[in-house]
Structure 1
Amino acid sequence: MGNSALKSHLETSQKTGVFQLTGKGIPEFPEELQRLTSNLRTVDLSGNKIEALPPSIGNFLQMKSLTLNANRITSLPAELGKLKKLETLSLNQNQLRSLPGSLSQLKALRSLSLSGNLLSELPPGLGALRHLDLLDLSHNKIHSIPPEVQELQVIELNFNQNQISSVAPSIAQCPRLKVLRLEENCLELSSVPHTVLTQSQVSLLSLEGNLFEVRNLRDLEGYEQYMERFTATKKKFT
């Protein structure tokens, strides 16, 4: 991309606080953005060829939304944890195998999207994000949901299209969880925790494409309780 075009983008961003440069094949996070650390609130660099974020990403203290979908990012710098105002972080379709522990410092984060990466387990430390509403871990390589899942404060948890064969019963203790998506995994009917049906707040449980017929869920203890929550929620939105 030519310098004049980038300069024009930077001038616009100076006024708007928004920098969007998608699908241009750029290989790295533009160094020129450092000039805008004091007022940049939204950055979208999706559809490029970025492999890493520089440590200087931690300088963007006003940033609220960072979108880097469809790049080639393999790891994230610890400095990302300095973005105390960040509310939305979207890293779908990259090559992440793990997350830095510093992500637990993003206290304002409301939405974390990590679909289509190479994660093999639930990233640790996310329970510290008290305002996180949505966690999307679909299309990864996760095999099980561990007991630590109960620490999450999310309203919606998306595990669609992983390789999950076991779910810790403690998932029912997630205090705000309403939507649990587990489509196209490796779950047997006996692997669905009764606690999700009997003891949780979950009002939408998505289980299509596992190793059992979804209609057989009605044979499980607590199915009627779950359906009462499901119906009540549906009425609220009709």
Structure 2
Amino acid sequence: MDPAPQSHPILSYVLSRLPTLSKPRPTAGADFDIEQPPVHTPSPRSPSVGEFELVERMPGLRHASVLHAMTRAVADVSAARSALQELGPRPDHELVDSSRAVVAAAAAGDVAPRVTEEDLEACRTVVRLEEAHETYEALLHEAEGRLEKVYRSAMEGRDLEEAEGKDESAAGDEGVAVQEEVVAVLKQAQEGKPVESVLLVDRQLRYLPEAFGRILGLRVLDVSHNQLQVIPDAIGGLEHLEELRLASNALVSLPDTVGFLSNLKILNVSTNKLRTLPDSISKCRSLVELDASYNGLTYLPTNIGYELINLRKLWVHMNKLRSLPSSICEMQSLYLLDAHFNELCGLPSAIGKLSSLEILDLSSNFSDMKELPFSFGDLLNLREVDLSNNQIHALPDSFGRLDKLEKLNLEQNPLSMPPAEVVKEGVDAVKEYMSKRWLDALLEEEQRSMAAAAAESPQASTPKAWLARSVSWVSDVGGSLVGYVSGGQTKSEKDSILDQQF
């Protein structure tokens, strides 16, 4: 309910200094005078480390006049916070999604018979509560920026009311300038002049005209850091578009027509309010980079990996993903996969098919991530792996095959394999330890195979048959076994015993 100090440090500090509305209840007694109640002195609250750092960075916060001006500037936040406290906590996202589906069905006249009017009203209440919380979040973001302006004005010795007036005037002028800039771009396109790049970053843009979809020669469109809530369907008409940057807006969905962008190479939709990506995104077969981080995604399109065979970099961190689709294992060009800070319960069993993968971040999936599949050892080109802040108890024996691994983070895991003392020695020690386990496993498997073969056929236990199998097995294992037996040194000459005739 209260703003987080990490995301809204100034606002959190100011609101924590607001006087409480609750008063101590008087206690009955002989010394109690109703006409002269005792003065209540609130117990001092110990400032946090973050507040100390904030005050060090902004010493003006120590001045009562500055704090008073800031308090007045966020009166609407205080009122909204009080109202939300009366309404209740934010509903679970699954409940919100299901409630929205019921309300939408009712609006379309397709509500299920078992849904009563009371149920429908309850769903509407959930949706309204979620919208109230979303509005409150936007208000917090706006208030943080407002407080920065108030503080800056106070430190410059300017009159705060005059400064606010200038800011509003500047915002109005900026809005006019942005509108004129948009019109100029569209006019240039209508006149047949080439328009290959449109950059409207941080312009407080609230609306993207449909006409942008008719700029046929457009290759780069960057409208990041604005206030867009909707991208028009006409965006699918930009058949030559190669870069589309929509980061840091207020988008809750992307149009299905994004799948028509067959030449799109870079798509950045990070830091929005997306809960899903459209299935049609799989049709963007030219995609090389996809950044969908800092959203509310709960799943990725089922077929995303079958179509995006050219994708090199995929960022989906800071979402609510519970799993990755098995099709992601078909992304043969994937070089980087960042899925940290999700709710992943594991990886697809065929993850080892990502033969080009070099950088993998699965950190901070916490109690959900408990194990890695055996095929993890098939990621032979891995150079950097972050598995920190999970609940992994043991690395698979196949981990010993990752010869190219240079960086490995296993912190904050209840690991028993490899042991903690090995992990502390670093990536090389872990590689050596797991490599020996891998080779020991191969030796054990070979011994079992030989024993089984000997039991089935007496001839299989003759020296000649045994030697033939051994030579074949050594050939399969290759230099790894030789390196293990000889302490890492390889031999260029064959052992003479292998050339003897029996």
TM category (shorter chain) comes to: 0.7 to 0.9
Structure 2 counterpart of 1:136: 315
Higher Cα radius of gyration: 2
For 2:291 and 2:322, how far apart are their aligned partners in 1? 19
Structure 2 counterpart of 1:57: 235
Q: CA RMSD in A?
A: 2.5
Relative to structure 2, which stretch is displaced further, 1-10 or 163-172?
Answer: 1-10
Query: 1:142 offset after TM fit, Å?
Result: 0.8
Q: TM-score, normalised by structure 2?
A: 0.42
Query: 1:224 offset after TM fit, Å?
Result: 3.1
Indicate yes or no: 2:180 matched with 1:4. Answer: yes
Structure 2 counterpart of 1:211: 391
Indicate yes or no: 2:405 matched with 1:230. Answer: yes
Relative to structure 2, which stretch is displaced further, 199-208 or 43-52?
Answer: 199-208
Indicate yes or no: 2:208 matched with 1:29. Answer: yes
Contact 2:221–2:244 (CA under 8 A) maintained in structure 1: yes
For 1:187 and 1:133, how far apart are their aligned partners in 2? 29
CA deviations over 1:74-101 (Å, ceiling 9, x no partner): 1111111111111000000111111222
Query: 1:161 offset after TM fit, Å?
Result: 0.9
Contact 1:164–1:187 (CA under 8 A) maintained in structure 2: no
Indicate yes or no: 2:326 matched with 1:147. Answer: yes
| Cα 1:7/1:146, change in 2 over 3 Å | closer
CA deviations over 1:87-124 (Å, ceiling 9, x no partner): 00000011111122211111111111100111112332
Structure 2 counterpart of 1:90: 268
Structure 1 or 2: larger strand share?
1
Contact 1:165–1:186 (CA under 8 A) maintained in structure 2: no
The code of the aligned residue for 1:230 comes to L
Matched ranges for 1:33-182 at <5 A: 33-34=212-213, 37-127=215-305, 128-153=307-332, 154-182=334-362
Q: Give the secondary-structure state (helix, strand or coil) at the position aligned to 1:167.
A: coil
Q: Give the secondary-structure state (helix, strand or coil) at the position aligned to 1:166.
A: coil
Query: 1:19 offset after TM fit, Å?
Result: 0.6
Aligned residues: 225
Contact 2:344–2:369 (CA under 8 A) maintained in structure 1: no
Which runs of 5 or more structure 1 residues have no equivalent in the other structure? Answer: 233-238
Relative to structure 2, which stretch is displaced further, 142-151 or 53-62?
Answer: 142-151
The code of the aligned residue for 2:342 comes to N
The code of the aligned residue for 2:216 comes to S
Contact 1:47–1:71 (CA under 8 A) maintained in structure 2: yes
Contact 1:10–1:19 (CA under 8 A) maintained in structure 2: no
Q: Give the secondary-structure state (helix, strand or coil) at the position aligned to 2:404.
A: helix
Q: TM-score, normalised by structure 1?
A: 0.84
Query: 1:220 offset after TM fit, Å?
Result: 4.4
Query: 1:15 offset after TM fit, Å?
Result: 4.9
| Cα 1:184/1:12, change in 2 over 3 Å | farther
Structure 2 counterpart of 1:235: none
For 2:368 and 2:285, how far apart are their aligned partners in 1? 36
Larger relative contact order (Cα-Cα within 8 Å, sequence gap ≥ 6): 1
Structure 2 counterpart of 1:18: 197
Q: Give the secondary-structure state (helix, strand or coil) at the position aligned to 2:342.
A: coil
For 1:189 and 1:87, how far apart are their aligned partners in 2? 31
CA deviations over 1:27-50 (Å, ceiling 9, x no partner): 122344345x22211011011111
Contact 1:166–1:187 (CA under 8 A) maintained in structure 2: no
Identity of aligned residues (%): 25
For 1:42 and 1:189, how far apart are their aligned partners in 2? 38
Which runs of 5 or more structure 2 residues have no equivalent in the other structure? Answer: 1-174, 408-502
Contact 1:149–1:170 (CA under 8 A) maintained in structure 2: no
Contact 2:229–2:251 (CA under 8 A) maintained in structure 1: yes
| Cα 1:106/1:100, change in 2 over 3 Å | same
Query: Which of the numbers 221, 226, 230 marks the counterpart of 2:397?
Result: 221
| Cα 1:174/1:187, change in 2 over 3 Å | farther
Q: Give the secondary-structure state (helix, strand or coil) at the position aligned to 2:314.
A: strand
Contact 2:247–2:270 (CA under 8 A) maintained in structure 1: yes
For 2:317 and 2:372, how far apart are their aligned partners in 1? 18
